[in-house]
Structure 1
Amino acid sequence: MTLTIEQLLNAMWQDYLALTPDAKPIHQLFADLNQGIVVNDHIALRTFNLEKVSLDKIAKSFIEAGYQTVDDYQFPAKKLFARYFQHPDETLPKVFISELKVEELPQYCQEIIHDLVSQVPEESVSQQGFCYSGRPWSVTKEQYQELASESEYASWLAAHGFRPNHFTVSINHLSSHSNIESINQLLQDKGYTMNTSGGLVKGSPDVLLEQSSTLAKEIEVSFTDGVMKLPGCYYEFALRYPMPNGQLYQGFVAASADKIFESTDTKPSP
């Protein structure tokens, strides 16, 4: 059965909630303050740059639903390439997909990742729901820890597989709050831990985008040789500013996204 784009996005949301204990109460908090309306600015997905599970493969379901490529981004320090996609229907969230440049990691990490991806059935990647299908491989705690020593991104992906890494509340569509500082204060007052890497607010009006995010809470993850408590997913908040033509900026800011990635790190940088 082919899902509509709305059904696909809802299925991704349900999968995300299972890995993000904070998401449902935060969503409800803003729904209660905004007549039930909370608009999602964008969804982010992660993958490796290996042919079988490449960014293009992950994007396929969105492209087929009418999404179009808008822009590319490079994150040299984290060895990532990313691309974002937008739908002509502006009520649908943007989709931000990143991929890890496996060849830039040490050889032992490359071998682990190639081993994991070799376990992915070729036919499953072409399924519409692959982007929220979870972890399609067996992985040990040792493999996870070896990847984590070089790339938090790689270890998160090895542990959780293919699924939304975060959803994003559009502050522009909230009637209850008009600035990101008040959003952050509300969340902190409610006891949520925020990502302070690069500052509580990433970006500025000058770059037409401000972002903040919760820190991913730890959840239990099963490995072939036991269970570990690891960061799951996080919730982001974005405020977009108008460009000279009056339209809201729709892109992303690489320097800010670089710090947002650290919302799933076991030890985010100061």
Structure 2
Amino acid sequence: MSIPVLELIDILWLKFRDMNPQAGQIVDLLAERGDRLQNDHIAFRTFNDPRIGVSVLAKPFVAGGYVVGDEYQFEEKKLYAQHFEHPDPEMPKIFISELLLEKFDAPVRKTVERLIDQVDTHAINDDHPLCIAARPWRSSYEDWKLLRDVSEYAAWMAAHGFCANHFTVFVNALKSVASLQELNSLLVEKGFELNAEGGAVKGSPEVFLEQSSTLASTVNVEFTDGVHAVPGCYFEFARRYPLPNGELFSGFVAKSADKIFQSTDSRS
């Protein structure tokens, strides 16, 4: 029997918060102001290998009632993505992207394939879904650096594997701030560093979605050749606007998401 989707989300949140303490600090800050966390979406990363691709990561969510919402292409970052929605509007959307390995040169492909070949696909099942498998391979810091120089996304995967890359505060549900801009100002005032790529706020009411995010926390990762500090996870914030038909926009804007991806870029 598969893990109930609400239980799975709780597991993901606890793992995410442990890896990214700033998320818990921000939730506590909002709670002090009378707000509770409602998640807009949870994001995952993977490679477009059939053993671990989007469809494999999505399995426990589809089993829990999620359906495909839309798909996205990120030409510059060589990514494909889908998002999934649940009939219950308070359930977070699921956003899963995968790196298109065929668009990279042989050294990158071979490095990634060597990682994927270590995945025990028989250990991935309903009780142990891929999305909580953490890092199912041994990788070196040299691997990480090689990948980082070509794709920060690939390097992040080599370091962390399968976990929530980010959770997202649904700003519409907050009562103590009137806008995403006001929330950003509060976070900066409290010492949190935001992703400024393309501006602190990505998107606009005209595209029915505004997003911002913290910069990823730096975490120590044990590689085969030592422990090294690399970017971990980040916390995102999204405000959605109604479409002309009055329904709240439930998709994503590729141009904005492209900049959000850079929240895990190296800063050294």
TM-score (norm 1): 0.96
Identity %: 46
In structure 2, the partner of 1:83 is 82
Whether the 8 Å contact between 2:52 and 2:130 is mirrored in structure 1 is no
Displacement after TM superposition at 1:4 (Å) = 1.4
Letter of the structure 2 residue corresponding to residue 131 of structure 1: C
Alpha-carbon distance between aligned partners in 2 of 1:243 and 1:31, rounded to the nearest angstrom: 30
In structure 2, the partner of 1:29 is 29
Alpha-carbon distance between aligned partners in 2 of 1:85 and 1:32, rounded to the nearest angstrom: 32
Alpha-carbon distance between aligned partners in 2 of 1:129 and 1:3, rounded to the nearest angstrom: 8
Alpha-carbon distance between aligned partners in 2 of 1:267 and 1:82, rounded to the nearest angstrom: 25
Question: What secondary structure, in the 3-state scheme, does the structure 1 residue paired with 2:21 have?
Answer: coil
In structure 2, the partner of 1:189 is 189
Alpha-carbon distance between aligned partners in 1 of 2:34 and 2:81, rounded to the nearest angstrom: 32
Whether the 8 Å contact between 1:70 and 1:86 is mirrored in structure 2 is yes
How far does the alpha carbon of each residue in 1:201-243 deviate from its partner, in whole angstroms, 9 at most, with x for none?
Answer: 0000100000000000111011011011011100000000011
In structure 2, the partner of 1:211 is 211
Letter of the structure 2 residue corresponding to residue 79 of structure 1: K
Whether the 8 Å contact between 1:68 and 1:85 is mirrored in structure 2 is yes
How far does the alpha carbon of each residue in 1:145-176 deviate from its partner, in whole angstroms, 9 at most, with x for none?
Answer: 10101000000001000000000000100011
Q: How does 1:1-270 map to 2 (within 5 A)?
A: 2-35=2-35, 37-127=36-126, 128-267=128-267
Displacement after TM superposition at 1:123 (Å) = 1.3
Question: What secondary structure, in the 3-state scheme, does the structure 1 residue paired with 2:11 have?
Answer: helix
Whether the 8 Å contact between 1:52 and 1:125 is mirrored in structure 2 is no
CA RMSD of aligned residues (A): 1.2
TM-score (norm 2): 0.97
Point out where structure 1 has 5 or more consecutive residues left out of the alignment: none
Letter of the structure 1 residue corresponding to residue 116 of structure 2: V
Question: What secondary structure, in the 3-state scheme, does the structure 2 residue paired with 1:53 have?
Answer: coil
Letter of the structure 2 residue corresponding to residue 198 of structure 1: G
Letter of the structure 2 residue corresponding to residue 230 of structure 1: V
Alignment length (residue pairs) = 267
Whether the 8 Å contact between 1:8 and 1:129 is mirrored in structure 2 is no
How far does the alpha carbon of each residue in 1:45-66 deviate from its partner, in whole angstroms, 9 at most, with x for none?
Answer: 0000011101100001111111
Question: What secondary structure, in the 3-state scheme, does the structure 1 residue paired with 2:16 have?
Answer: helix
Question: What secondary structure, in the 3-state scheme, does the structure 1 residue paired with 2:96 have?
Answer: strand
Point out where structure 2 has 5 or more consecutive residues left out of the alignment: none
Whether the 8 Å contact between 2:2 and 2:60 is mirrored in structure 1 is no
Alpha-carbon distance between aligned partners in 2 of 1:201 and 1:236, rounded to the nearest angstrom: 11
Letter of the structure 2 residue corresponding to residue 153 of structure 1: Y
Question: What secondary structure, in the 3-state scheme, does the structure 1 residue paired with 2:2 have?
Answer: coil
Question: What secondary structure, in the 3-state scheme, does the structure 2 residue paired with 1:199 have?
Answer: coil
Alpha-carbon distance between aligned partners in 2 of 1:124 and 1:67, rounded to the nearest angstrom: 23
Alpha-carbon distance between aligned partners in 2 of 1:242 and 1:34, rounded to the nearest angstrom: 25
Letter of the structure 2 residue corresponding to residue 21 of structure 1: P
